[in-house]
Structure 1
Amino acid sequence: MSKPSIPWLDTLSTALAPAIWGSTYIVTTQILPPDRPFTAALLRTLPAGLLLLLCCRALPKRSAWGRLLLLSALNIGAFQALLFIAAYRLPGGLAAVLGATQPLIVMGLVWLADRRQPSTLAMWASVAGISGMAALLLAPGAVWDAIGLTAAFAGALCMATGTYLARRWQSELPLIAFTGWQLLLGGIMLLPVALLADPPLPVLTGTQILGYGYLSLIGALLAYLLWFRGTTRLPAVAVSSLGLLSPLTAVVLGWLLLGQSMTPTALAGLITVLASVLAVQWSSISASKHTHSISIPTQKASS
């Protein structure tokens, strides 16, 4: 009999993934060669996928390939490409605010596909999270580029849908292989984009090699293992709300390491985002416990 998971420990371990992703902003802007976003995404995902599959050489069943390819495109290939398009065409704050819509998108998918209405607390907490992110990051006079806006929202839609489907489909592959295949296939999808859109890499310094290594080993291999583990143990809405910690971590690290300013409005936004994440987690875990407590007597009665 498998040992039951502890929701708050699962939440904390899953939260490490977006916190790690938040740190990649400093690595990318301060260490890596400039103007090569798709190359950075490729070198982050493809080597990590290869390493994981070398550790766990498990092949998906023939019937599972369609789902795996779709998840790889949503979670890795399309999401990474759209993310960098938005990052180059929009201010970071505006892109992050649009990305903060992920919990609401997941709630809509759960409501439409599973016929499960989200709790009022979770919905209002998610709206508060978007408002807090706007106060934290959205600068006055932001440029509303149509292509950038479309890419940012499409990226949020891809990640939200991928998170929901990964939770719903529950792959029979071991976690390492499930993560590795998505990173590998997503990296392969990014390969032609990187070759066509980015200039060739210059001769890399030792620091730049370490930067790419961090993005791959920590930012992809470890972070996606924690993220996809979370999708198997936590409700999809709870997992998606943790994504708000990524831009929040980037802001805090910029303040601590780069001397970026933190205004009172931004501080209020930061506290609002944290409160929003905690409220969604509490609401989701409480709802999960309530559903479990109802299902136990039914199982006993039918045995």
Structure 2
Amino acid sequence: MTDHRRPHLDSLAVALLVGCCLLWGLQQIVAKATLPLMPPVMQAALRSAVAALLVWAWAAARGIPMFQRDGTLPGGVIAGVLFALEFICIYVGLGYTAASRLVVLLYLSPFVVAAGMPFIARSERLAALQVGGLVLGFVGVAIAFSEGLSANGSDPRRWIGDALAVSAAVLWGATTLAIRATRLSTAAPEKTLFYQLAISALVLGPVSLLWGESWPAQWTAGLWGSMFFQSVIVAFISYLVWFWLIRHYPATRLASFTFLTPLLGLMMGWVILGETITPQLLVALACVAAGIWLVNRKQG
């Protein structure tokens, strides 16, 4: 892999993007399936801790300084705490709602970023089509959330999981905005990722203890496999691949591919967990995907 920027997405970028979207959609499915084996916040804490150590080792091997005084600590702490709160909402929310629903609602995040960026950079003011994309995305989320409130004979607590999913999406978007608004915007991607993972591990660990979560009595092959997937494959490898893509390809073209994640998550929730896909959820997914495309569509 060379270091120059490409003006367009080539076959390598498309293959890596589809792979990342597949992994991110599968992440929520695996986390939900692991809940009977390990409590939610403990899962998130262990995932962040292992991935943080791997990012630190990767940066050390590449000679990337991680601990010099460069003014990024305040932004790093903010991003790390927001990242921790996001994953508390995700992992706890999976106990109340279907993983396929959660992954659709989670993709409110691009709209939060699009709405907030004009307050950080005037050059990123929204055009009319982008505003339309925001509205369409919020309509999709409203459709999915209203279905959770009605429940229609399913778990009456599903709205709690849906609310946590929306909260996670807002926190995810806020994390991105915090990175863009602070000195982290000029830091090495590895350092930014390390801040998020390490500080979230330091927050999530005590929260898990305070909530009385207990360490698994037995580590089965399924639990080992789940934590390897969540920590190494998703939180370490796929996030580094994403940062590499952002560094070498146009960000707006990359962002337009993110609609694949809720689509793939929806399909895998149906195939792997046997979750029900309702017409309302399909309409919500279509609105979210179309909204993301409009928000990231090149203007002019």
Of the three residues 44, 48, 51, the one matched with 2:47 is 44
The answer (yes or no) to whether the contact 1:132–1:268 under 8 Å persists in 2 is: yes
2:119 maps to amino acid: L
Flag the 1:242–1:121 CA change in 2: closer, same or farther, 3 A: same
The answer on whether the counterparts of 1:72 and 1:186 sit within 8 Å (CA) in structure 2 is: yes
List per-residue Cα deviations over 1:76-126 (Å, max 9, x = no partner): 212112323444455667755653432332222222232342122222223
- Percent of pairs with identical residues: 22
TM-score w.r.t. length of structure 2: 0.76
The answer as to whether partners of 1:33 and 1:208 remain within 8 angstroms in 2 is: no
The residue that corresponds to 1:161 in the other structure is 174
Supply the distance in 2 between the matched residues of 1:81 and 1:176 (Cα, whole angstroms): 23
Name structure 1 gaps, 5 residues minimum.
Answer: 291-303
1:4 equivalenced with 2:5 (yes/no): yes
Residue 253 (1) aligns with residue 268 (2): yes
Kept after mapping to 1: 8 A contact 2:48/2:235: yes
Judging changes above 3 Å, is the alpha-carbon distance between structure 1 residues 161 and 32 closer, same or farther for their aligned structure 2 residues? closer
In the superposition, relative to structure 1, how do residues 156 and 107 fare at CA in structure 2: closer, same or farther (>3 Å)? same
Gaps of at least 5 residues in structure 2 are none
CA distance in 2, matches of 1:90, 1:256: 16
More helix, by proportion: 1
Which string of whole-angstrom CA distances, capped at 9 and with x for unpartnered residues, describes residues 4-39 of structure 1? 233545687456545422202332233453460001
AA partner of residue 155 (structure 1)? A
- Report SS of the residue matched to 2:72: helix
Matches within 5 A, 1:93-172: 99-115=106-122, 116-132=124-140, 138-139=147-148, 141-142=150-151, 143=156, 151-168=164-181, 169=183, 171-172=185-186
- Taking the TM superposition and a 5 Å limit, the aligned residue runs for 1:208-223 are 208-223=223-238
**1:25 maps to 2:28:** yes
Distance 1:152 1:271 in 2: 18
CA RMSD of aligned residues (A): 3.6
Structure 2 CA distance for partners of 1:159 and 1:270, relative to 1, 3 Å: closer
Q: How many residues align?
A: 283
Confirm or deny: 8 A CA contact 1:100 1:130 kept in the other structure.
no
CA drift at 1:257 = 3.2
Q: Which SS does the other structure have where 1:256 is aligned?
A: helix
CA distance in 1, matches of 2:251, 2:44: 28
Q: Is 2:96 the partner of 1:84? A: no
